[in-house]
Amino acid sequence: MPRATTTSDIFNAIAEPRRREIIGLLSNGQRWSVTQVVEAIEHPQPAVSKHLAVLKAVGVVDVEKAGKERLYFLKPEVLKPVHDWVKPYEKLWDTQLARIKTRAEQKAAERAQKN
């Protein structure tokens, strides 16, 4: 069994850095033509069109026709599963950092006592 398709879910779609970059561009809420995306990220037009097709397949972007242009825009809510999955772990490194910080403060307090 090969690796899951890039279009099989949002986790596979965003594994590719340039696709995350495109999502980042569209995050300003504006509609972007393919040419604009091509100019922003430095990559040939066919490659960009392919990445956009993957993003569209998983639903994280959608298109609007405008004459000869295609205007892509973000559907951010499709990223929610990623957020929901990773959010709980935030607490783990938070508490770990908190623990380190606490220990550092304790040592500082000990040093202060000695003097």
Residue from 14, 37, 52, 61 in contact with a copy of itself (CB under 8 A): 14
Residue from 6, 32, 54, 55 binding a copy of itself (CB under 8 A): 6
Between residue 27 and residue 86, which ones bind DNA under the rule CB under 7 A?
A: 33-35, 38, 43-47, 49-54, 63, 65, 67-71
Distance of alpha carbon 58 from its chain centroid, rounded? 14
**Cα separation of 29 and 26, whole Å?**
6
Enter the tokens of residue 94: 């938070």
Which residue, 4 or 104, has its beta carbon nearer to DNA? Answer: 4
Query: Which partner in a copy of itself, DNA, none is near 49 (CB below 5 to 8 A by kind)?
Result: DNA
Encoded tokens for 43: 């990559």
Give the C-alpha separation, 87 to 69, whole Å. Answer: 37
- The single residue listed with the structure tokens 């899951």 is 4
From a copy of itself, DNA, none, interface partner of 82 (C-beta below 5 to 8 A by class)? a copy of itself
